[in-house]
Amino acid sequence: MAREFFGTDGIRGRVGEYPMTAQTVMKLGWAAGKVLASKGNREVLIGKDTRISGYLFESALEAGLASAGINSRLLGPMPTPAVAYLTSTFRAAAGIVISASHNPFYDNGLKFFSTEGSKLPDDVELEIEAMMREEMTTVDSKDLGRARRVDDAAGRYIEFCKSTFPSSLRLDGMKIVVDSANGAAYHIAGQVFDELGAQVVSVGADPNGMNINKDCGATAPDNLRAHVLLERADVGIALDGDGDRIIMVDHRGEIVDGDEILYVLAKARHAAGTLKGGVVGTLMSNLALEHAMNDLSIPFERASVGDRYVMELLRANGWELGGENSGHVICLDRVTTGDAIVAALAVLAVMRSSGESLSRLRSDMQLYPQVLVNVPSSKKVDLEANDQIQQAVRQAEQDLGDSGRILLRPSGTEPLVRVMVEGKVANDVEAICNSVAKVVGEALG
């Protein structure tokens, strides 16, 4: 069945526009409730980030779930990975996060987690899609669902995060800047590192409903870089609005992305003999990461873009470590989804146990220059079948040789084709990317 609502990361859109309207979200709550009730468990957790529209959609979701006979436990502002964790510990039928992740405040969305704390299975999503086609009804009054607040949700998650950090280590003497993106982790992230002994400088921790991700957080790391240098901190940690992405900054002010974080963790685990299998990246992972894994004799595979696909490949291979350069870092031995705080603690543990700075730990892998050009697309073109485009790609691959890579990828959300080229020489990469983008642009009109 064709999907109308669920994408690769739940449901997302502009507030007030279909499907992110109060009416549609209420019916989604009802549809999800009907499907979950049929499986026997009638408890659902609801968390949200700090967008002003979260109040609207929390009420709409709770009303829809109640009309289907489902009880709601309201967590309030809570990171996405926290909702995944709490869904599992409460043995709830599902967890729902009201968030549009790294998007601006005027967008919002819904993410669903299963009782195991992982993304909702495809078959359940399809059942909810099918139920949305039915007329909304209400159970008998005596069977209506109820809602109640979970007052200690933040404390439960803080203790869980701390439990993933080695009990033999502390962060005493370390100065850390934590940028919470004015998002869901604003009252959690800094406290985790503080309770482990660090001197914490919190920024992006004053949400007003409309400043989430605005010039701060993982999508705007220059804010973190400036504060790290100003404070002369040992390291900086930036989360995105819902707390599942991480970007770091070393003491020199250099930005450390998801690929470099994966490298630091994989190398340390490999040396300690604790790395299970290999590492999963995506089609957008820097070629330097692949080469670095090869040099260490660590298996490396690429999934499609999206943490959902990284997770699928990790589970298929029986591996534990994967992620995206955008900052989704998944440590399956600790969590069931991408978790910025847990990933940060894993890196800090490597720093503490080795006595090395983040700058030193990431220095053995130098990212290759990468150029991305978005080509507007006024019509759909089969990129594989277009001779002109394929000839340009073959020429680019010949020019790059073994030290570079080219990727053409239609955007899943915008009328664009993304042309990405990476290689060892910046000038060559830029020239090749612009040349291919020009050919693609001509083919797309």
Burial of 258: CB neighbours in 10 Å, binned 0-12, 13-18, 19+: buried
With CA atoms as reference, report the closest residue to 257 among 408, 370, 89: 370
Of 53, 88, 99, 101, which one is the catalytic site residue? 101
With CA atoms as reference, report the closest residue to 310 among 301, 270, 289: 301
Q: How far apart are CA 237 and CA 256, in angstroms?
A: 10
Q: Is 101 a catalytic residue?
A: yes
**Amino acid sitting at position 440:** V
| Strand-pair partners of 7 | 10
> Residue 159 corresponds to which tokens in the numbers above?
């203790």
Active site amino acids: 101
